[in-house]
């Protein structure tokens, strides 16, 4: 295993990380089976596990599984998603952060979190408020490094500027979506994280199932008949997959290996997170740990999905208020009439 440095933290992490969403019992796994998957991943050299307080009881499952092995793991979790109906139990305010971290520490059965991340941008909280609270957590020894998830490039730059201006700890990592099907971060996000030495953990490298090779148009696995989430019904994504499958076959690779090797080939990507729900899923991924793609193969992928482009939108991708709230895109009626 060739470990990589997480940004400029000095922390060494594996190029594949284990995403822990699937370990929540609501996803169908017994905690004992999830523990076996975690242990096998650790035995294979994967040393990064990423979870979140919003992933059901995932933190509890992970915490129990890591008893006796915690020191060898770079443990990451996230905060900020709503916790119930109370409007103050979410976001990046100091009030919520100091509560959320204690709850995560308790569930994870540890005295520190290696990487603590803001799960979604919080437009209602000044980034200085968030960075100041996270800086204090580092000083208290409860957190080792801090990051964010699904931030636009402008927010990454703003956070960096605020940290330098106010003498606060800068964000060490960013966690965006990235796969052959979703390459939008190549346009601004990855150049920005590289410019500032920020580590990048990418999620969704298998396109939330589209890049496993199991979804075919004419093989009884048409996405609409498969009953998958709405984003998979985008026919453009199916068309791309149908062009990638013979490319992988020609290279002698399973689709999963092609997809994962692509995700970690970009020099701006530190780690690609995989969400293995079963031991069979993990075994299939582990056999591809040493796969690399040559320039010719990467060029052929570029010809199918041009760099910096997205084919459809992932259902879990964050949509900023400027896109989801019509009122933010429209002048008040009186102002429109006056114009």
Structure tokens given for 287: 């056999």
Helix, strand, coil percentages (3-state) for the chain, rounded to 5, are 45, 15, 40
Q: Which helix (H) or strand (E) holds 113?
A: strand 113-118
Enter the DSSP assignment of 39: H
**Token pair 């890049």 is at which residue?**
211
178 a catalytic residue:
no
Residue with tokens 């208020």: 321
Rounded alpha-carbon distances, angstroms, from residue 140 to 106, 109, 112, 146: 16, 17, 10, 13
Residue 125 structure tokens: 């909280």
Please return the burial class of 328, using the count of CB atoms within 10 Å of its CB with bins 0-12, 13-18 and 19+. exposed
Cβ-contact 209, 232 below 8 angstroms: yes
Q: Which of 3, 16, 55, 178 is catalytic?
A: 55
Q: Are 125 and 92 in contact (CB under 8 A)?
A: yes
Helix, strand or coil, per DSSP, at residue 151: coil
CA 42 to chain centre: 19
Helix (H) or strand (E) holding 148: strand 143-149
Please state, in angstroms and rounded to a whole number, the distance separating the CA atoms of residues 110 and 192: 33
The whole-angstrom separation of Cα 278 and Cα 22 is 9
Residue 250's contacts (CB-CB under 8 Å, 6 or more residues apart) are none
Residue 103's contacts (CB-CB under 8 Å, 6 or more residues apart) are 53
Catalytic residue positions?
55
């Amino acid at each position: 295993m060739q470990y990589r440095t997480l940004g400029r933290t000095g922390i060494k992490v594996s190029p594949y990380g284990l995403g822990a969403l699937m370990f929540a019992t609501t996803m169908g796994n017994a905690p004992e089976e999830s523990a076996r998957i975690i242990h096998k991943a650790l035995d294979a050299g994967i040393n990064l596990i990423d979870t979140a307080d919003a992933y059901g009881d995932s933190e509890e499952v992970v915490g129990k599984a890591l008893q006796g092995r915690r020191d060898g793991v770079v443990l990451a979790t996230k905060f900020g998603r709503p916790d119930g109906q109370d409007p103050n139990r979410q976001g990046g305010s100091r009030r919520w952060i100091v509560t959320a971290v204690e709850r995560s520490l308790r569930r994870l059965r540890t005295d520190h979190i290696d990487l603590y991340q803001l799960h979604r941008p919080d437009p209602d909280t000044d980034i200085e408020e968030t960075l100041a609270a996270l800086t204090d957590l580092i000083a208290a020894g409860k957190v080792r490094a801090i990051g964010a998830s699904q931030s636009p490039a402008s927010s990454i730059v703003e956070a960096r500027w605020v940290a330098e201006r106010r003498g606060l700890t800068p964000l060490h990592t960013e966690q965006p979506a990235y796969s052959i099907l979703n390459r939008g971060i190549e346009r601004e996000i990855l150049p920005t994280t590289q410019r500032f030495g920020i580590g990048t953990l990418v999620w969704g490298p298998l396109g939330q199932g589209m890049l496993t090779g199991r979804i075919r148009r004419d093989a009884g696995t048409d996405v609409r008949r498969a009953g998958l989430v709405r984003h998979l019904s985008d026919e453009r994504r199916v068309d791309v997959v149908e062009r990638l499958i013979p490319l992988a076959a020609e290279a002698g690779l399973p689709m999963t290996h092609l997809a994962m090797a692509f995700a970690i080939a970009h020099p701006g990507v530190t780690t690609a997170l995989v969400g293995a729900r079963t031991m069979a899923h993990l075994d299939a991924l582990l056999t591809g740990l040493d796969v690399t793609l040559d320039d010719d193969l990467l060029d052929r992928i570029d010809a199918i999905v041009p760099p910096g482009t997205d084919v459809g939108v992932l259902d879990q991708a964050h949509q900023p208020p400027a896109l989801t709230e019509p009122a933010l895109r429209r002048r008040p009626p009186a102002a429109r009439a006056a114009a």
